[in-house]
Structure 1
Amino acid sequence: MKKLFTICLFFLSTAVFAQNEEAVENAQEAHEEVKLWDSDLSVGLNFNQASFSGNWRSGGVNSIAFGSILTGKANYTKDKFSWDNQLEMIYGIVKNDGQGVRKSNDRIFLDSKVGYQVSDHWSYFGAVNFITQFTDGYDYSQDERVLISGFFSPAFLTTGIGMEYKPNDAFALRIAPISPRFTFVTNPAIAENVPTNYGVPLGQKVRTEWLAFQLFMTYNKQINENLAINTRYQMFANYETLAFKTIDHRLDVTMIAKMTKFIDVTFTSINVYDIDMDPGIQFSQALALGIVYKVSNKK
């Protein structure tokens, strides 16, 4: 009887040990799987207000301004395979005394890239990025405001297949000799005020440029604990209409200076040259002090 009891106890102990060992291995595998993702999300809000009495002799205009920025990334890496995703949404409004509410900033940007590493600094990649805005945009230079843009009017969906050069974590350069682009203008009223209709043929809502080349460069650097800079440059050239003046350029810059744990100063700038929009260089910039909240999951 003692022998039988000893044998049963031995098998029971072995089973419990094996089960515990399997549980530890599963936990380790799950932990390693979490480490494959590098993600973060940042939300910022800012508010500005100014008011003056009717007899304020220094002059001034009563105003209220509100701005918001949301940025996020979710990057997956396993062996030589990578999948990088980026989101950026910015929106701001301002209300000056005697005027209606107007936009001060408006941007939607999405980018997704799949890559396969072939050497220390080079990878094959396939990517798609999307740019548009949230609400209608107006020209206020005339007596009556004039509608000149809106959600999906225009919108740009650009794809790319090629090689990416990434010598370090901060800098990346995509070279895409195959880069079809789709330009959308879904509101036909835009063409009444913008003769070029952003390159979309009149009477249509989509322009497709199948034969095209794209450069896409990013430089995202945490300078120190309190200062970060994120830049993005895009160059797009249609092979069929290739000329110096028809090459599109866009440069986006965001600088974030951390004042306290939850208060940041944010500078944003957009610089665009696209002859289908305007023959000149367009630019906008905004500087804001506000509250920011960030969550992240670092490797």
Structure 2
Amino acid sequence: MKLQSLFALLIIGLSCGTVSAQVNLKDLRVKPDSVISENKQENISLKNIRPVVPKLELQVDYWKHWTSFGVNINQAAFNGDWKGGGVGSTAVGLIANHKSDYTRDNFNFVTEIDLRYGKIKNNKQIAKKNNDRIFWDNKLSYKLSAKWALYTSLTFESQFDAGYKYKQVDGKDTIDYIENAFMAPAYITESLGFEYKPSASYSIRFGTGTARQTLILDNRIKPLTVEQYSQKYPDRAPIDKDQVRYGVEGGKTVQNDLAFQITGNMDKNFTDKLNVKARYNLFANYKKVTDPSHRLDVTVTAKVSRAINVNLNGILVYDTDVISKVQLSESLALGLVYRLPR
């Protein structure tokens, strides 16, 4: 009984203490309209600050450029006592290629230059060229869809040096006659049509409206009329009809043709050391559309090291304006190549 009374008194004491504490805390509360700080509040003014942003002057470069040039050298020599057969020779070839690509939105412009020149000199023979080409292609296109585009192009083709036909006279090489020279012939081709490009490595152009000018600006190769031939060569037997060379009629230096053209391009890296580049061109003159001319150029490049390549080049030409037979050319060379960008 005493324990219960003691417990009751303890509870009553705690309750009284709590009520007293609440009364004291109530007196310490701050009224809503009271001012705690003695300092008067000052008006705060906000000022707009414009930070200085430095000009980075960043520009987007829509151009891409690739350049390569190289030299191929082959040499063989034998002394007078060599019985294994063979002919001493020296061959030098120069190659230069440049490509620029401009792409912005749906517009694309590509210009490509391919220059090749080489000569070979066999012992006791005249030095002869074994490679000679000037090729410059320019194409402007507007993309119509993911794979199709409308394009226009301008292409120039010729050679650097004169090419001769040779014959043997008393066991020695002698020039028989000249076959071609710089700007004789030269081809300028303008084309308009559609391009199909399924990937960056392949493309094919359909030139529904194509014009080509064939130029012969060297008088040694210029075709002659019957009268011009008799005046130039009075000691030779006369000809019975005007000459025609590379499709250019006698007495003319320029021949204009309208045609349908197909141009296929491939430039693909099959591995990091093997590249195949090919270009096929079909030119069908509307005057003789059933007898088009064909040209196929293929270059296989195998990289031996960063600066040494092995090049296999092949050319196939069929053009009845030149000769009614298939012309073939092949060359294999090991040479130094320098590329930009590295």
- Whether 1:68 and 2:94 are equivalent positions in the alignment is yes
TM-score (norm 1): 0.87
Sequence identity (%): 36
In 2, are the aligned partners of 1:107 and 1:134 still within 8 Å (CA)? yes
1:70-117 Cα offsets, whole Å, 9 max, x none, are 111001000000001111011110111111211011111110000000
Identify the structure with the greater helix proportion.
Answer: 1
In 2, are the aligned partners of 1:154 and 1:185 still within 8 Å (CA)? yes
Within the candidate set 263, 267, 278, 2:312 is matched to 267
Distance across 1 between alignment mates of 2:244 and 2:82: 46
* 2:179 aligned partner, one-letter code: I
Q: Which residue does the alignment assign to 1:4?
A: none
Q: Which residue does the alignment assign to 1:204?
A: 252
Distance across 1 between alignment mates of 2:279 and 2:118: 21
Q: Which residue does the alignment assign to 2:27?
A: none
SS at match of 1:265: strand
1:209-265 Cα offsets, whole Å, 9 max, x none, are 1x311001101101111110110000011112222xx21100011111000110000
Q: Which residue does the alignment assign to 2:297?
A: 252
In 1, are the aligned partners of 2:243 and 2:249 still within 8 Å (CA)? no
Within the candidate set 222, 226, 251, 2:273 is matched to 226
Q: Which residue does the alignment assign to 1:6?
A: none
SS at match of 1:140: strand
Distance across 1 between alignment mates of 2:75 and 2:250: 43
Within the candidate set 319, 322, 325, 1:280 is matched to 325
Structure 1 residue ranges without an equivalent (≥5): 1-9
Distance across 2 between alignment mates of 1:127 and 1:216: 11
Shift of 1:296: 2.6
Distance across 2 between alignment mates of 1:46 and 1:197: 33
Q: Which residue does the alignment assign to 1:88?
A: 114
Distance across 2 between alignment mates of 1:262 and 1:227: 14
Q: Which moved more, 1:105-114 or 1:193-202?
A: 193-202
Distance across 1 between alignment mates of 2:109 and 2:309: 30
Distance across 1 between alignment mates of 2:294 and 2:156: 15
Shift of 1:142: 5.5
- Whether 1:174 and 2:205 are equivalent positions in the alignment is yes
More relative contact order, 1 or 2 (CA 8 Å, 6+ apart): 1
In 2, are the aligned partners of 1:196 and 1:277 still within 8 Å (CA)? no
Structure 2 residue ranges without an equivalent (≥5): 1-47, 230-241
* 2:164 aligned partner, one-letter code: Y
* 2:286 aligned partner, one-letter code: Y
TM-score (norm 2): 0.77
Within the candidate set 144, 151, 154, 2:182 is matched to 151
Q: Which residue does the alignment assign to 1:217?
A: 264
Shift of 1:39: 1.4
CA RMSD of superposed structures (Å): 2.0
Distance across 1 between alignment mates of 2:72 and 2:100: 25
1:109-167 Cα offsets, whole Å, 9 max, x none, are 11000000010000000001111100000111464321010111111111110100000
In 2, are the aligned partners of 1:200 and 1:206 still within 8 Å (CA)? yes
Distance across 2 between alignment mates of 1:228 and 1:91: 21
Written as runs of structure 1 = structure 2, the 5 A alignment for 1:107-122 is: 107-122=133-148
Q: Which residue does the alignment assign to 1:5?
A: none
Q: Which residue does the alignment assign to 1:104?
A: 130
In 1, are the aligned partners of 2:159 and 2:181 still within 8 Å (CA)? yes
SS at match of 2:217: coil
Q: Which is greater in Rg? A: 2
Shift of 1:196: 3.0
Relative distance call for 1:125 and 1:142 in structure 2 (3 A) is farther
Q: Which moved more, 1:71-80 or 1:59-68?
A: 59-68
- How many pairs are equivalent? 275
Distance across 2 between alignment mates of 1:195 and 1:252: 29
